[in-house]
Amino acid sequence: MSEQDNEPQLYVVYLGGELAAGRIGEDHEVVVVVATDIQDARKFAKMKWRGSANPHIDAVKLVSVIDGYRVNLEPTEDVDSSRVDPTYVP
């Protein structure tokens, strides 16, 4: 992973955690965070965990290019725009 010195970078983090009582397995969630290094990305991602119990990190990916497009971050006054389309498509 190539991280620039103190420049905000986009990270995608795969979190895992225990399911509610009586369930077998793990709960998982993907979150997106902006951080200057992977350690902060891990910390910020855990703060976004919505599951029960304490989360753990299964994977972290620094995202700088997607499908041939460079990802550039710029500050904004807008609030988070994390809308989810829950439509199931088999």
Has residue 83 been placed in a domain?
Answer: no
Query: Is 3 inside a domain boundary?
Result: no
Q: Calculate the CA 18 to chain-centre distance.
A: 18
Chain-centroid distance of CA 37 in Å reads 13
Residues 69-89 have pLDDT tens digits of: 999 999 989 877 777 888 999
Q: Is 41 helix (H, G, I), strand (E, B) or coil?
A: helix
Question: Domain range spanning residue 64?
Answer: 9-68
Asked if the structure places residue 61 within a domain, the reply is: yes
Count of structural domains within the chain: 1
Structure tokens at 90: 């088999």
- What percentage of the chain exceeds 70 in pLDDT? 93
Residue 1, pLDDT score = 44
Q: Return the residue matching tokens 């725009």.
A: 81
**Per the domain annotation, does 48 fall within a domain?**
yes
Q: What is the pTM of this model?
A: 0.82
CATH code, domain with 19: 3.10.20
* Tokens of residue 70, six digits: 């460079």
> Locate tokens 């997607």: which residue?
66
Is 52 part of a structural domain of the chain?
yes
Q: What are phi and psi of 78, to 5 degrees?
A: -65, 155
